[in-house]
Amino acid sequence: MLKKLFHKNVQWRRVWLHVPHGVIIGLLALCPITWKIAEIAWEVFREYEWSEDLHTHDQAWNDLLGLLFGIAIVALLALLASAVLIIWLTGRLL
C-alpha cells in the first residue's frame, strides 16, 4: 500500500534513518516549555536539507518524510494516551 501511496523513488532506508529525529522533535513539541526548541529544530533541519538538496540534488524530501513520520508517530501516541487517560478518568469518576 505504501508503495502505491508514495512515488517509486522513495529511499526507505533514508526515510527510516530520520524517523528518530522526528520523534525527538515531536517529544519536544509536546511540552509547552520546549515547544520553541522543537520549532527551531524543525526549521534548522528543513533549511539544512533544502540547502543540501540545492547543490547535491540528493532528493532531500526523503529525509523530510522520515522526520514527518517521526512527528506523526509521537502525535498519534500522544492522542492515544490522552484518549486512554480520559476514558480512565471518566471511569474513576462515575
pLDDT along the chain (94 residues), means of 10: 63 90 94 93 92 84 91 96 93 84
What is the pTM for the complete model shown? Answer: 0.82
Helix or strand (DSSP H, E) at 66? helix 61-93
Q: How far apart are CA 63 and CA 39, in angstroms?
A: 17
At 59 the pLDDT is 84
The grid coordinates of residue 19 equal: 524517523
At 54 the pLDDT is 85
Q: Which whole-number Å values give the CA distances from 12 to 27, 79, 80, 84, 89, in the listed order?
A: 23, 26, 26, 32, 40
